[in-house]
Amino acid sequence: MANHRLDPALLLIWAQAARSGNLHLAAEKLFLTQPAISHRLKQLQERVGEPLYHRGQRGIVPTPMGVALWRLGERLESTLAEAESLCEGSAQLLHGTLHIAASQSNAEILLPQVLGQFHREHPAIHLQVSAVNSRQARQLREGFDLIFVEDGLAPPTGEFWLQETLLETEIVLLLPPDHPWAAEDVPLPLTDLTDVDLVWREAGSGVRDAVLQATRGAGLHLPLHYEMSGLAAVREAVRAGLGLGFSSRFAQGRNDGLIARDLEPAIIQRFSLLYRRDANPATQAFLGVLRQILAAGRASEVRQW
């Protein structure tokens, strides 16, 4: 049987269609007719063996396979742009799209400064940041170039990833200012939390996993009364008096109006980054900016797996 190789042009067409979210708009940008676009995408779907997208109210919605091929198509676009730059013999700016998955603490606290500096140095690179929890970030890693998580877990065995521990901090307890514990300034024993209402992040959160691991390791079983999706929701629940919550000390400046108490024993939180061994030039440039910003007083430990 003949080996039918995938036509790279199909990936490029699909990348434009997925990015546009609309076949008519994609056809205009590619200077093709909509029937021509539909025909080429049908060829790609037949080659893959499953749908690339579903039709929604506002256009097309990529399937998980569609998302994976979309990312590959954009990498192909980036590679072609770099090849054209080399062929022209000019010092053009880096082009392409950088796909970043980040836990909410990373996305809210660590990344904004890095993204701002990176954009100033590389304005031609398009940045796409998806804020998810740490577990989701690892599960969806194949669709991204950089994965920021709040754990120290190893990458999956047999895959070609590098992992870098960016910094270590501690998890603190958040209290409303009128809480009886708010006036104290000594670390609070974890055993004191067994009979209080607690507001937890959703399953998969790095903060939640770190607290549960530490308390269960100490033989404690804290109640799971309330679960909130995202840091902001936890803060608002604590402000409203629903219960006490947990947060990274790294986020302390954003806990406006709330009191942060240290815990005893301390619960360590690690901010880590995963990226591919064969990282593209845009990823390498981003890593350079990130390390430059973290270099002041923060040692980075690189671990190869």
Label each residue of 199-213 as H, E or C.
Answer: EEECCCCHHHHHHHH
Q: Chain-wide mean pLDDT for the chain?
A: 84
Specify the pLDDT at position 296. 63
3-state secondary structure 93-133: CCCEEEEEEECHHHHHHHHHHHHHHHHHHCCCEEEEEEECC
Q: Report the C-alpha gap between 185 and 172 in whole angstroms.
A: 12
Position 13 scores a pLDDT of 92
Q: What pLDDT was estimated at residue 300?
A: 39
CB atoms within 10 A of CB 90: 8
pLDDT on residue 10? 92
Low-confidence ranges of the chain (pLDDT < 70): 1-4, 85-94, 152, 155-159, 252-255, 296-305
Q: Tokens 């108490």 — which residue?
A: 261
Supply the pLDDT for residue 189.
94
Looking at residue 148, its pLDDT comes to 93
Would strands 198-201 and 226-228 be described as parallel, antiparallel, or unpaired? Answer: parallel
pLDDT of residue 254: 63
Measured at the CA of 278, the angle between CA 53 and CA 289, to 5 degrees, comes to 95
Strand partners, 269: 169
> Considering the entire predicted model, what is its pTM?
0.63
d(CA 86, CA 69): 26
Q: In angstroms, rounded to a whole number, what is the distance separating the alpha carbons of residues 148 and 115? A: 13
Query: 3-class secondary structure for the chain?
Result: CCCCCCCHHHHHHHHHHHHHCCHHHHHHHHCCCHHHHHHHHHHHHHHHCCCCEEEECCEEEECHHHHHHHHHHHHHHHHHHHHHHHHHCCCCCCCEEEEEEECHHHHHHHHHHHHHHHHHHCCCEEEEEEECCHHHHHHCHHHCCEEEECCCCCCCCCCCEEEEEEEEEEEEEEECCCCHHHHCCCCEEHHHHCCCCEEEECCCCHHHHHHHHHHHHCCCCCCCCEEECCHHHHHHHHHCCCCEEEEEHHHHHHCCCCEEECEECCCEEEEEEEEECCCCHHHHHHHHHHHHHHCCCCCCEEEEC
